[in-house]
Amino acid sequence: MHQINQYSLNKTSSRQSSLGFLAPTNSIGLVDRSHIVVDLENLCGGSDSVSKLASKMYRDLSKIVSFERMQVVVAVGINAWMKTPELGFLWPNARYLVGRGIDGADIRLVEDLIEEPQALRSARVVIASGDGRFANCAKILTERGVEVMVVARHESLSRRLSAAASSVIFLPEENF
């Protein structure tokens, strides 16, 4: 089993945060934490499967990456959100984004990866999706020294996303 929090950082130091506590940072100023974005519709194979597979995706993903010291952001489209009222309880401590329109959830996650200080300053980012829309984000983050892991379904992984990531792990095939 591969745990994202097992990666070591070189020359860890501390930097005072705006809240007054010390945050461990690596040699290029990234905070020793992980940020994960979850394109739940992509992992489930479509918005119609979210209600059936959301809790299974949580369990399977938590076997691959440790959610300890990790900000988890989950996005779905408005239709999946409306069809799955219990979704807010299935992913404990996650921040939810709801997108509207075609690729609305993907666009919300791209914004999170590129505009949120939490993601930009994290030493590790996990993109739980195979969607090629995340390839440019992965490329930008890796160029900044962020370790980018992609967790995806084998049949839905974009070549561009795979090439831009530091590593790729596939979800077990029995999910689908």
Taking only the tens place, the pLDDT of each residue in 118-131 is: 888 888 999 999 99
Flag whether 7 is in a domain: no
User: Helix, strand, or coil here: 106?
Assistant: helix
pTM of the full predicted structure? 0.82
Flag whether 162 is in a domain: yes
Flag whether 79 is in a domain: yes
Domains of the chain: total: 1
- Find the mean pLDDT for residues 93-109: 92
Flag whether 145 is in a domain: yes
Cα(126)–Cα(106) distance, integer angstroms? 14
pLDDT beyond 60 at 99: yes
- One-letter amino acid for residue 100 of the chain: R
Flag whether 2 is in a domain: no
Cα(149)–Cα(95) distance, integer angstroms? 19
Range of the domain at 94: 19-175
Taking only the tens place, the pLDDT of each residue in 36-59 is: 999 999 999 998 999 999 999 999
Flag whether 92 is in a domain: yes
75: domain CATH number?
Answer: 3.40.50.1010
- Find the mean pLDDT for residues 12-27: 43
Flag whether 10 is in a domain: no
- One-letter amino acid for residue 95 of the chain: R
Q: What pLDDT, on the 0 to 100 scale, is given for residue 71?
A: 87
Which tops the pLDDT comparison, 118 or 108? 108
Flag whether 24 is in a domain: yes
